[in-house]
């Protein structure tokens, strides 16, 4: 029950009426992120996202921007990823007109003042330090750096300190001009909404949008001939590691099989790796195996935190589960449980208007094709045990295997010795 409209200037509008709610979410997605940056501009997507909260001509300060939303009890934020940047606000439905004006105002009219830019540099530098002090998050970036190296896909979304200190107003304006355009933008409204009326309001709010075509990103090149590892020395209380393989991108026909394979391995507390590491041996508190599918990259990866002395044991056990699933079809009941889990999680998530907006707008931005929940459920149900076996044998290969690790280790030889699959 969604409606998509493509305007003549290229702007895409998606409206999603949701019954039984008094909330409405406005989400604006732009097709740019750290994969669109160069080495010298790395971090500029995230920096620009910050600056959109610095004030507009109509709302000159950060306080004047956010205080009205606070008064109405709204939630709001922005985010930057590898291939997208987003701005959103969720409020009681009677405030929809205000939020549409608010989102369009920060998108079209942010002042990007030099004084504010200089101040925000300090904020982002502290954010970088906070991130580096959070190994449970930072390990994911080390994992992607191991896979993609010095390509944009391997760099931090938040950027490097030296870049942050160097950015000037003209750099932000140039980047905004190149990527923040109608053809590269989606405005999505989900919740208690009337599609026709809302669409008219969006057209009015965004009538002055930039119509210049956006620049394209470079395609990621993947090269690997043997298992690889990366060790980041840090005196932590726990070793954090990511262990997995290169896999499928967003357009691959086996992406749903990949998702189910990840779920079987480590998607819930009764999954294989959970039982092996936590329930049988008490090696870890947190465990997760997840798939990642972007427009030109993809992987399947298990992340755990373990005692320093048990890191090698944990790695060996995860690899053991990877090997086992290559040689025997999952039991039909186990596969059905994984299918029900994926469908159940999606169904529960879609009860909120903000997730509804992300679900539909995210698909449109990255793949330009929207599958409804029912259509995705059908794709999941079509996966067979033979599909799982085929994909496991295809991706769990030595030349696709990678390990990234944070802990008090300086040599990686002992870990590389056990990287066999």
Both 274 and 194 in one domain: the answer is no
Both 187 and 298 in one domain: the answer is no
In a domain, 220, yes or no: no
Both 100 and 188 in one domain: the answer is yes
In a domain, 144, yes or no: yes
Q: What percent of the chain has pLDDT over 70?
A: 100
In a domain, 223, yes or no: no
Please report, for the domain that includes residue 331, its CATH number.
3.30.830.10
Mean pLDDT across 131-138: 96
Both 232 and 145 in one domain: the answer is no
In a domain, 43, yes or no: yes
In a domain, 214, yes or no: no
Both 130 and 232 in one domain: the answer is no
Residue 416, pLDDT above cutoff 90: yes
State pLDDT tens for residues 375-413: 999 999 999 999 999 999 999 999 999 999 999 999 999
In a domain, 211, yes or no: no
d(CA 350, CA 339): 17
State pLDDT tens for residues 329-356: 999 999 999 999 999 999 999 999 999 9
Both 337 and 244 in one domain: the answer is yes
In a domain, 295, yes or no: yes
Would you list the DSSP string of 6-64? E-TTS-EEEEEE-TT-SEEEEEEEES-SGGG--TTTTTHHHHHHHHTTS-BSSS-SHHH
State pLDDT tens for residues 85-118: 999 999 999 999 999 999 999 999 999 999 999 9
pLDDT at 180: 98
Q: What's the sign of the alpha-carbon dihedral 355, 359, 360, 365? A: positive
Both 304 and 370 in one domain: the answer is yes
pLDDT at 395: 98
Mean pLDDT across 322-326: 97
Q: Provide the domain count of the chain.
A: 2
Residue 1, pLDDT above cutoff 90: no
Both 254 and 340 in one domain: the answer is yes
Residue 306, pLDDT above cutoff 90: yes
Both 60 and 154 in one domain: the answer is yes
Both 177 and 252 in one domain: the answer is no
State pLDDT tens for residues 43-72: 999 999 999 999 999 999 999 999 999 999
Q: Please, how many CA atoms are within 13 Å of residue 90, restricted to the half-sphere of its CB?
A: 15
Mean pLDDT across 296-315: 98
Among residues 293, 326, 307, 153, the alpha carbon closest in space to that of 241 is found at 307
Average pLDDT, the chain: 97
Mean pLDDT across 119-133: 97
Among residues 268, 237, 238, 227, the alpha carbon closest in space to that of 403 is found at 227
In a domain, 216, yes or no: no
d(CA 141, CA 128): 12
Which domain, by its residues, includes 144?
A: 3-205
294 near 366, Cβ under 8 Å?
yes
Q: What phi and psi values does residue 415 have, to the nearest 5 degrees?
A: -80, -35
Q: In the structure, what pLDDT confidence band is assigned to residue 280 with cuts at 50, 70 and 90?
A: very high
d(CA 45, CA 28): 15
Both 268 and 390 in one domain: the answer is yes
Both 250 and 340 in one domain: the answer is yes
State pLDDT tens for residues 201-244: 999 999 999 999 999 999 999 999 999 999 999 999 999 999 99
pTM for the model: 0.95
Residue 299, pLDDT above cutoff 90: yes
Residue 3 pairs in a beta bridge with 15
């Amino acid at each position: 029950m969604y409606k998509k409209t493509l305007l003549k200037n290229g702007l895409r509008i998606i409206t999603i009426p949701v019954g039984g709610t008094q909330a409405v979410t406005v989400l604006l997605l732009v097709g740019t992120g750290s994969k669109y940056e160069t080495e010298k501009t790395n971090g500029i997507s995230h920096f620009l996202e910050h600056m959109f909260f610095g004030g507009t001509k109509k709302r000159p300060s950060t306080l004047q921007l956010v205080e009205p939303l606070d008064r109405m009890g709204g939630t709001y934020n922005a985010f930057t990823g590898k291939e997208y940047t987003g701005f959103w606000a969720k409020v009681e439905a009677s405030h929809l007109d205000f939020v549409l004006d608010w989102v369009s105002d920060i998108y079209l009219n942010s002042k990007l003042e030099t004084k504010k830019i200089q101040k925000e540099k300090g904020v982002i530098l502290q954010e970088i330090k906070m991130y580096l002090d959070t190994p449970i998050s930072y390990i994911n970036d080390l994992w992607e750096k191991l896979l993609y190296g010095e390509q944009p896909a391997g760099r931090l979304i938040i950027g490097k300190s030296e870049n942050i200190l160097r950015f000037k107003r003209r750099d932000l304006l140039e980047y905004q001009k190149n990527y923040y355009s109608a053809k590269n933008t989606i405005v999505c409204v989900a919740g208690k909404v009337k599609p026709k009326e809302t669409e008219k309001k969006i057209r009015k709010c965004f009538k002055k949008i930039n119509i210049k075509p956006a620049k394209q990103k470079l395609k990621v090149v993947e090269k690997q001939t043997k298992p690889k590892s990366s060790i980041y020395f840090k005196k932590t209380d726990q070793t954090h590691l990511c262990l997995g393989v290169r896999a499928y991108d967003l357009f691959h026909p086996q992406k749903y099989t990949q998702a189910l394979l990840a779920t079987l391995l480590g998607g819930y507390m009764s999954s294989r790796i959970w039982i092996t590491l936590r329930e049988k041996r008490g090696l870890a508190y947190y465990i997760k195996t997840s798939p990642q599918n972007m427009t030109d990259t993809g992987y399947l990866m298990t992340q755990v935190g373990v005692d320093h002395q048990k890191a090698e044991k944990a790695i060996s056990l995860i690899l053991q589960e990877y090997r086992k699933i290559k040689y025997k079809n999952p039991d039909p009941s186990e596969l059905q449980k994984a299918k029900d889990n994926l469908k159940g999680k999606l169904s529960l998530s879609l009860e909120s208007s903000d997730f509804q907006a992300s679900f539909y707008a995210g698909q449109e931005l990255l793949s330009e094709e929207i599958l409804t929940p029912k259509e995705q459920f059908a794709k999941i149900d079509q996966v067979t045990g033979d599909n799982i076996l085929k994909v496991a044998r295809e991706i769990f290969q030595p030349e696709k295997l990678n390990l990234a690790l944070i802990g008090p280790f300086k040599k990686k030889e002992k870990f590389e010795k056990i990287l066999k699959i």
